[in-house]
């Protein structure tokens, strides 16, 4: 065929040429962006993506030829990639927000001696130097892909579009799974719709792996919220390179949301139908690798409950005048999930979603053409494993990197919600905050009101995980699970959350809860079985949404389930509910102190007064 023949000659992607998708035909604003970036990065070729199957086949062939991916014959149309071992996670220390005024991007700590931990700022001048230091000719010899993409269903009232330029065919193929790309988006662009400009290059350095070019020493992820621009250099890892996700949907997204009055959050969205047939949607914000994907696709262990998934990582929430509620859309089209720990028991729906059309990154490979990672069911007799570094796996180290991931289309999820692509989103009845708290934090508690709930979000803490470069298992502050993803000053973010209550006089705000699946006993074992059994906690939450006041007990930190009000029928062993729901006073006095100190040190004068008042009230209740 014409397509095949042209591929043989040179790596140009002929199919779209046939469809007349050349740079010359791009809408002028897009064309200017492409031409400027071509001048800077000097790619050998430019390919405008149409999102077609034929085009994807060509990209996959190129990736196979480069040795970036290998085919996994056990599954349909699925591939494994091994990254450079230095390029395996997000790099928070190299992620910057660039604004004219520093205080627009990050809070100013109370003193010079305190290092800010709520984001990094870079001046526009410094950004220019950093770009000029890295991007000139960075794409030479490579094809630049032009990816028109939509976050949210194309043309939806809450959706936004972007154009990503990248020299990584792996990124191009992954963007096709994670976002809606191609011609429908080009149509929107032709109508003059505004778009986020996202430039990405894996860069170059000495002794690059031909299969995974990158420049880890000089990686930077830059955001310019004042002009809706993202510039990412040196990394091919998803969180740094699939710019629709954390960079657009959260960092740039949160700044657009602030301007337009809505919220862009690190939250899953899930629909739950209880046995009486009532369906409610909830959102939950947990830090990276703390259980969003698992809760979003949960196989409910209680009979009569049906759980359906809208999204597993990001939610855009906006007041809907018809229902008076916050409505949420999932701006993504795929899942980029943590592999280790995922299996047919803990998350069967994720396992089923990734049975075809999926990309696996840094997992182990089985000799029968499949994948394997820690926590997965053991492979069949006689099957051997190659680890994520390409070496034979003998059990002395891990087979999969702790932050290894699967990338798969959300549409393949067996329990995808019928409204997951509804342009106006789904109405949200509750927001859950949570994290990994081995000690002191009860299984679930409810905030007294919106302001208190916002304080609970501000006070979130969690054990660090492999999702970013932090070492060990320290308990870190991670307000709203957004610490790595704020696009603007966290103090202003808090004020924006608080303003939701007054912004629309008639708003019916979601109830706010805090959950913790990760409390441990003295032996270091989880007290709660988690996963599908978490429906027992959701069941309590749903009854609270219905206004059942007979199931709660007031404590200094919020409403906690009354004894025996969480259904533990059929659980064996019976969990120690007394311990799971206890609110140790000493622990919470220290906790309240830590939250107050953190906010005062880190956010100083930008902490909204109502938050400080809520902390003062908490301390008062704890001293009674
Ligand atoms: P990101 O995609 O990085 O934002 O993380 P996430 O919040 O989606 O985390 P995910 O659901 O992938 O869970 C991360 C790890 O936590 C996996 O290894 C899970 O097996 C484990 N996990 C999830 N839910 C539970 C739970 O209820 N109990 C326990 N003990 N572990 C859980
Ligand atoms: Mn995430
Ligand atoms: Mn996830």
pLDDT class of 470 with cuts at 50, 70, 90: low
* Ligand 1 center to 620 CA (angstroms): 34
Confidence at residue 306, expressed as pLDDT on a 0 to 100 scale: 97
Q: Ligand 1 mean position to 330 CA, how many Å?
A: 19
Q: Return the HEC string of 2-68.
A: HHHHHHHHCCCCHHHHHCCCCHHHCCHHHHHHHHHHHHHHCCCEEEECCCCHHHHHHHHHHHHHHCC
CA of 370 from ligand 3 middle (Å) equals: 21
User: Which band of pLDDT confidence, cut at 50, 70 and 90, is reported for residue 25?
Assistant: confident
Which pLDDT belongs to residue 496? 98
Shortest-distance Cα residue to atom 4 of ligand 1: 288
Ligand 1, atom 17: nearest CA belongs to which residue? 341
Distance from C-alpha of 477 to C-alpha of 435, rounded to nearest angstrom: 10
Query: Which atom of ligand 1 is nearest to 338's Cα?
Result: 12
In the predicted structure, residue 99 carries a pLDDT above the cut 50: yes
CB count in 10 Å sphere of residue 129: 11
pLDDT at 18 over 70: no
**What is the rounded average pLDDT of the residues 27-55?**
95
Question: Is residue 163 classed exposed, middle or buried when 0-12, 13-18 and 19+ CB atoms within 10 A define those classes?
Answer: buried
Q: Determine the pLDDT at residue 13.
A: 47
267, 294, 351, 404: which to mutate for ligand 1, most atoms within 8 A of CB? 294
Residue 505, classified by CB atoms within 10 Å of its CB into exposed (0-12), middle (13-18) or buried (19+), is exposed
Nearest atom within ligand 1 for CA of residue 296: 11
Question: What share of the chain in percent tops pLDDT 90?
Answer: 93
User: pLDDT tens across 120-173, in order?
Assistant: 999 999 999 999 999 999 999 999 999 999 999 999 999 999 999 999 999 999
Is pLDDT of 266 > 50?
A: yes
Whether the pLDDT of residue 11 is over 50: the answer is no
Between the CA of 606 and the centroid of ligand 3 the distance, in Å, is 31
Three-state DSSP class for residue 245: helix
Instruction: For 575-607, write each residue's pLDDT tens digit.
Output: 999 999 999 999 999 999 999 999 999 999 999
9 or 567, which is more confident: 567
Q: Which ligand 1 atom sits nearest the alpha carbon of residue 287?
A: 7
What residues form DSSP beta bridges with 145?
Answer: 47, 166
Active-site residue identified among 290, 309, 408, 413? 290
The conformational region for residue 561 under phi > 0 = left, psi -120 to 50 = alpha, else beta, is beta
pLDDT reading at 16 higher than 60: no
Q: In the structure, what pLDDT confidence band is assigned to residue 473 with cuts at 50, 70 and 90? A: confident
pLDDT band at 466 (very low <50, low <70, confident <90, very high): low
Q: For ligand 1, pick from 291, 343, 353, 400 the residue to mutate: most ligand atoms within 8 Å of CB.
A: 291
Please report the pLDDT score of residue 14 as a whole number.
43
Residue 515 clears pLDDT 80, i.e. is over it? yes
Number of helices (H) and strands (E), helices first, in the chain? Answer: 18, 30
For a pocket test of ligand 1, which of 237, 240, 338, 344 has the largest count of ligand atoms closer than 8 A to its C-beta?
Answer: 338
CA angle 532, 274, 453 (to 5 degrees): 75
DSSP summary character for residue 75:
S
Is the model more confident about 319 or about 22?
319
Query: What is the structure's pLDDT at 474?
Result: 86
Nearest to 618 by CA among 528, 525, 556: 556
Cross-strand pairs, 445: 514
347 CA closest ligand 1 atom index = 20
Q: Does position 446 have pLDDT exceeding 80, yes or no? A: yes
pLDDT level of residue 467 (50, 70, 90 thresholds): low
pLDDT at 398: 97
CA of 289 to the centre of ligand 1 (A): 5
Nearest to 342 by CA among 299, 296, 294, 300: 294
pLDDT for 54 = 92
Q: How confident is residue 469, by pLDDT bands cut at 50, 70 and 90?
A: low
The answer to whether residue 468 scores a pLDDT higher than 70 is no
Ligand 1 surroundings by CB, under 6 angstroms = 286, 288-294, 312-313, 337-338, 340-341, 346, 467, 517, 526, 530-531, 534
Contact of 489 with 502, CB cutoff 8 Å: no
Q: Which two tokens stand for residue 578?
A: 């007394």
**Known catalytic residue: 290?**
yes
Amino acid 58: pLDDT: 93
> Is the CB of residue 528 less than 8 Å from the CB of residue 443?
yes
Residue nearest to atom 23 of ligand 1 (CA): 291
Atom 18 of ligand 1: nearest residue by CA position: 341
Distance CA(571)–CA(563), nearest Å, equals: 16
**Angle of CA points 365, 360, 89, to nearest 5°:** 110
For the stretch 174-183, pLDDT in tens is 999 999 999 9
What pLDDT is stored for residue 184 in this prediction?
Answer: 95
pLDDT at 8 > cutoff 80: no
- pLDDT average, residue stretch 40-64: 94
Using alpha carbons, list the distances in angstroms from residue 497 to 11, 90, 265, 285, 329: 49, 26, 11, 14, 18
User: Relative to the alpha carbon of 245, which ligand is closest?
Assistant: 2
Residue 412 · residue 353 · CB < 8 Å: yes
DSSP H/E element including 292: helix 292-296
Ligand nearest to the CA of 288: 1
Q: Nearest to residue 231, comparing CAs of 331, 316, 133? A: 133
Q: Which pair of structure tokens corresponds to residue 76? A: 């349909």
For 190, 298, 382, 400, 427, the CA distances from 269, given in Å and listed in that order, are 32, 12, 41, 28, 10
C-alpha distances in angstroms, 570 versus 303, 339, 567, 574, 606?
Answer: 11, 29, 9, 8, 49
Q: What are phi and psi for residue 324, nearest 5 degrees? A: 65, 15
SS3 label, residue 371? strand
Predicted-complex ipTM score = 0.99
Q: How much is the average pLDDT of 234-244? A: 97
Which residue did the predictor score with more confidence, 166 or 504? 166
Assign residue 472 a region (left: φ > 0; alpha: ψ between -120 and 50; beta: otherwise). left
Q: Two tokens at 264?
A: 């862009």
pLDDT score of 21: 67
Flag whether pLDDT at 267 surpasses 70.
yes
Query: Is residue 408 predicted with pLDDT exceeding 70?
Result: yes
Average pLDDT for residues 518-525, to the nearest whole number? Answer: 96
pLDDT for residue 2 is more than 90: no
Q: Whose CA is nearest to atom 26 of ligand 1?
A: 530
Average pLDDT, the chain: 95
Q: What is the pLDDT of residues 485-498, one digit of tens each?
A: 999 999 999 999 99
Task: Give the distance (Å) from ligand 1 centre to CA of residue 344.
Answer: 14
**In this model, does residue 573 exceed pLDDT 90?**
yes
State whether residue 392 is helix, strand or coil.
Answer: strand
384, 372, 83, 222: CA torsion to nearest 10: -170
């Amino acid at each position: 065929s014409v397509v095949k023949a042209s591929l043989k000659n040179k790596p140009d992607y002929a199919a779209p040429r046939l469809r007349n998708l050349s740079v010359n035909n791009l809408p002028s604003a897009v064309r200017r962006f492409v031409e400027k970036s071509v001048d800077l990065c000097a790619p050998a070729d430019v390919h405008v993506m149409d999102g077609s199957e034929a085009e994807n086949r060509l990209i996959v062939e190129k990736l196979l030829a480069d040795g970036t991916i290998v085919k996994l014959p056990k599954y349909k149309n699925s591939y494994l990639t091994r990254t450079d071992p230095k390029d395996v996670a997000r790099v928070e220390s190299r992620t910057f927000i660039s604004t004219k005024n520093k205080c627009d991007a990050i809070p100013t700590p109370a003193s010079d001696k305190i290092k800010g931990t709520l984001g990094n700022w870079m001046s526009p001048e410094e950004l220019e130097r950093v770009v000029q230091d890295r991007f000139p000719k960075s794409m030479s010899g490579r094809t630049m892909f032009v990816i028109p993409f939509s976050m949210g269903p194309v043309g939806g009232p809450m959706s936004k579009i972007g154009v990503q330029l990248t020299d990584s065919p792996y990124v191009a193929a992954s963007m096709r799974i994670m976002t809606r790309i191609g011609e429908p988006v080009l149509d929107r662009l032709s109508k003059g719709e505004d778009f986020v400009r996202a430039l990405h290059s894996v860069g170059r350095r000495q002794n690059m792996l031909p299969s995974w070019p990158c420049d880890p020493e000089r990686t930077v992820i830059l955001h310019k919220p004042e002009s809706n621009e993202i510039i990412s250099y040196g990394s091919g890892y998803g969180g740094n390179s699939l710019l629709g996700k954390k960079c657009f949907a959260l960092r740039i997204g949160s700044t657009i949301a602030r301007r337009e009055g809505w919220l862009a959050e690190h939250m899953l969205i899930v629909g739950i139908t209880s046995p009486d047939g009532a369906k409610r949607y909830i959102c939950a914000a947990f830090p990276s690798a703390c259980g969003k994907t698992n809760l979003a696709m949960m196989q409910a262990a209680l009979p009569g409950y049906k759980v359906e998934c809208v999204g597993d990582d990001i939610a855009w929430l906006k007041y809907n005048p018809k229902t008076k509620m916050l409505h949420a859309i999932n701006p993504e089209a795929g899942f980029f999930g943590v592999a280790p720990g995922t299996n047919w028991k803990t998350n069967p729906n994720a396992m089923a979603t990734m049975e075809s059309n999926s990309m696996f990154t840094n997992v182990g490979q089985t000799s029968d053409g499949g994948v394997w990672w820690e926590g997965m069911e053991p492979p069949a007799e006689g099957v051997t494993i190659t680890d994520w570094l390409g070496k034979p796996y003998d059990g002395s180290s891990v087979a999969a990197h702790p932050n290894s991931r699967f990338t798969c289309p959300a549409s393949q999820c067996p329990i995808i919600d019928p409204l997951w692509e509804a342009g106006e989103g789904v109405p949200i009845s509750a927001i859950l905050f949570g994290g990994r708290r081995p000690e002191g934090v009860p299984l679930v508690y409810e905030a007294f009101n919106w302001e208190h709930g916002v304080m609970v979000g501000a006070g979130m803490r969690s054990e660090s995980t492999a999702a970013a470069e932090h070492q060990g298992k320290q308990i870190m502050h991670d307000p709203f699970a957004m610490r790595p993803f704020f696009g603007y000053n966290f103090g202003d973010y808090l004020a924006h959350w608080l303003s939701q209550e007054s912004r629309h006089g008639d708003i019916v705000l979601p109830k706010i809860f805090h959950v913790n699946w990760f409390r441990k006993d003295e032996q270091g074992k989880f007290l709660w079985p988690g996963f599908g059994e978490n429906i027992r906690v959701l069941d309590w939450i749903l009854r609270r949404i219905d206004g059942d006041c007979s199931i709660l007990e007031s404590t200094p930190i919020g409403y906690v389930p009354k004894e025996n009000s969480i259904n533990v029928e059929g659980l064996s062993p019976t969990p120690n509910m007394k311990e799971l729901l206890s609110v140790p006073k000493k622990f919470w006095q220290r906790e309240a102190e830590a939250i107050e100190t953190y906010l005062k040190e880190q956010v100083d004068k930008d902490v909204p007064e109502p938050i400080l008042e809520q902390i003062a009230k908490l301390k008062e209740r704890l001293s009674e």
